[in-house]
Amino acid sequence: MSENTFPEMQHLLGLPLTKTTRLGHVQFFHFGKAHVMNATGLILDVGAWTLEVACHWQLEEAGAVAIRFEEVEIPRDTQTLANPDFDPQVPGSNLRDRKLQELVRAQKEQLRVWQITASPEGELTIALEGNRMLRVSPSQGVLENSACFWRLFSNTGSKESLQFGANGVDRA
């Protein structure tokens, strides 16, 4: 259970999945709402808590895989002819981005976190309302040159964070 392995995960309970963003292949899942100012003074809409994932993950609906980590390499519209200029690094250009946008925007009610389980090996299962499950699985593969497999951090000023990588858990 995550209460014992990663008690920090309990901050997510009851919070809605409000946004997803991506930098390269690293996926960010935002829970709750917060606003932060970047170095140029721009105010950004982010989650109160953010889960940064640099390893294999998938989102399931009713027990079936609905969104896969690997879909970042598939063009957004798989029904069109192959585009030689397709660049999966461009935000919004791939199937994974499209499916995550649709998931967050199409909900009449927010997808709240109702249960979290974790293993000492860093495997996470986050149960969301609507019979959805986010599974984070470092054992299935991690991105090259990743300092951590996943990281949970607060955007509300508490500076609280937890990360899991090759050397195990690191808390800040």
Summarize pLDDT for 58-77 with one digit per residue, the tens: 999 999 999 999 888 777 77
124-128, strands of its sheet edge to edge: 64-68, 57-61, 132-136, 124-128, 111-118, 16-23, 26-31, 49-53, 150-154, 161-165, 168-171
Beta bridge pairs of residue 22 = 27
Q: What pLDDT was estimated at residue 145?
A: 82
Q: What pLDDT was estimated at residue 85?
A: 77
What residue type is assigned to position 170 of the chain? D
d(CA 172, CA 165): 14
Q: What pLDDT was estimated at residue 1?
A: 43
Low-confidence ranges of the chain (pLDDT < 70): 1-4, 78-82
Q: What pLDDT was estimated at residue 34?
A: 87
Considering the entire predicted model, what is its pTM? 0.89
12 contacts: CB under 8 Å, gap ≥ 6: 31, 49, 51, 113, 116, 126, 152
